[in-house]
Amino acid sequence: MKLLIATHNRGKLSEYAEILEGLPFELVTLDDVGIADDVEETGATLLENARLKALTYARQSGLRALADDSGLEVDALGGEPGVYSKRYAGESKSDAERNAYVLEKMRGVPQAKRTARFRCAIVIADAQGQTWTSEGTCDGEIAFEARGTNGFGYDPIFIVNEVGKHMAELPNEVKNRVSHRGRAAIGARENLERLAKIM
């Protein structure tokens, strides 16, 4: 049985390869099935965008597809970047530029007010339009400087409450245990195990 990991983000892709290990599904990528197009993320919430992506890619491929929409929510920035996490600071900026932009916006904000969280919504969809959803959160705060080289995106500037380190300093297995994606994947794994039984 094939499961399409429906993301163009290489960081997410390699995390899912580890997070979903051991399930009775052969994981395939958008490249494997020849889908190059991006889905326009017009939803108002992470869950809506994840549904949009999963349903579109499931229909295009004819396979069950797993998509996630994820983002960083910073309290001192009124919840930004949120659903705009990928495009924050402008189109075609690098992760390093986006991190610098957030740090600049947070300049002068004291530690007690730097609370933030990563959120992830995962939707699995089939080509007939049925969906299975799960969500996860990781609480933390925005650091005063970037640190670490693991992970991707905003990981260098996010300190994880549970371990007291920047997300980008964590080995993969630790990130996958404490992260928003790792937590949302607990529900996704349960959904996939149930699906595998009825197929």
3-state secondary structure of 56: helix
In this complex, which beta carbon is closest to ligand ITT, that of residue 14 or of residue 194? 14
Q: Which of 32, 69, 95, 155 is catalytic?
A: 69
In this complex, which beta carbon is closest to ligand ITT, that of residue 17 or of residue 196? 17
Which run of H or E residues covers position 104? helix 95-105
Residue nearest ligand ITT (C-beta atom): 153
Which token pair is 41?
């993320």
Fill in the DSSP letter of residue 110: -
- Which residues are at the interface with ligand ITT (CB under 6 A)? 7-9, 12, 41, 53, 69-71, 85-86, 118, 151-155, 179, 181
3-state secondary structure of 152: coil
Number of C-beta neighbours around residue 122 at 10 A = 30
Q: How far apart are CA 137 and CA 176, in angstroms?
A: 12
Query: Shortest gap between Cβ of 26 and ligand ITT (angstroms)?
Result: 20
3-state secondary structure of 114: coil
User: What is the Cβ-side half-sphere exposure of residue 140, based on CA atoms within 13 angstroms?
Assistant: 28
Is 69 among the catalytic positions?
A: yes
In this complex, which beta carbon is closest to ligand ITT, that of residue 86 or of residue 147? 86
Show the CA angle centred on residue 160, arms to residues 148 and 174, nearest 5°.
70
In this complex, which beta carbon is closest to ligand ITT, that of residue 7 or of residue 60? 7
Query: Shortest gap between Cβ of 14 and ligand ITT (angstroms)?
Result: 11
Query: Shortest gap between Cβ of 127 and ligand ITT (angstroms)?
Result: 19
Query: Shortest gap between Cβ of 70 and ligand ITT (angstroms)?
Result: 4
Task: Please list the active-site residues.
Answer: 69
